[in-house]
Amino acid sequence: MYSRTSLVARILAAAVLSGVTLASATGHAAGSDKAFFDRVSGQWKGPGEIVAGKYKGTKFTCELTGASIDQGPAGLKMDGFCRVGVFKQPMTATIKRGGKSYTGTFLDGSEGKGLDVISGNVAKDKVVVGINRKKLNGAMIARLNDDRTMNITISVKVDQTMVPVIGVSLTRQVDDIAVGSIKP
């Protein structure tokens, strides 16, 4: 069994990736994907909670920075951390367009201590992404409410039922300070 921080880190990694994957929501062509990846680039912060399972009720916060991948197929890389109490877990996620779908990794992928993105489907303002780690299969649903807010739900397959286990709400961090000139 995984420790609480290790389990939270793995699940949070999936949440991070779903936010990254959300960037593909505006179109399927490489150009429109890139434009949306550019739009999702920036700093995000927000709370989350484990809503099912052994660690139900565990609250956490994440701070992430996204940047478009400039070379090759459209993509995005996110780096940052999530914090559970005094424990801070580094987070990294990379996603790239591969044909008509998406591939990617959280942390070091399923060969290490992370997760793999194995599929993806985009519709209007949400994306559903298939995730995998050995015998764990699940999905992430990310909804873009507006340019400043993303809500993410991560579910895992138990028997033949998808069970929601994590909820995250990220807010874009922007500097609202107005800059102007002073006339003499």
Number of structural domains in the chain? 1
HSE at residue 36, side-chain half, CA atoms within 13 A, is 25
User: Is 181 part of any domain?
Assistant: no
pLDDT digits (tens, 9 = 90+) for 51-88: 998 999 999 999 989 887 777 776 778 899 999 999 99
Grouping H, G, I as helix, E, B as strand and the rest as coil, residue 174 is coil
Q: Give the H/E segment covering residue 38.
A: helix 30-40
Contact 75, 93 (CB under 8 A): no
Beta strands per DSSP E along 99-125? 101-106, 115-123
120: pLDDT strictly greater than 60: yes
Q: Domain range spanning residue 96?
A: 4-172
User: Is 178 part of any domain?
Assistant: no
CATH number for the domain spanning 14: value is 2.40.128.20
pLDDT for 69 equals: 78
User: Is 180 part of any domain?
Assistant: no
User: Is 26 part of any domain?
Assistant: yes
Residues of the chain with pLDDT > 90, as a percent, come to: 26
pLDDT digits (tens, 9 = 90+) for 101-113: 888 888 888 989 8
Contact 148, 137 (CB under 8 A): no
Triad 14, 138, 170: Cα angle to 5° = 35
User: Is 105 part of any domain?
Assistant: yes
Q: pTM for the complete prediction? A: 0.73
User: Is 182 part of any domain?
Assistant: no
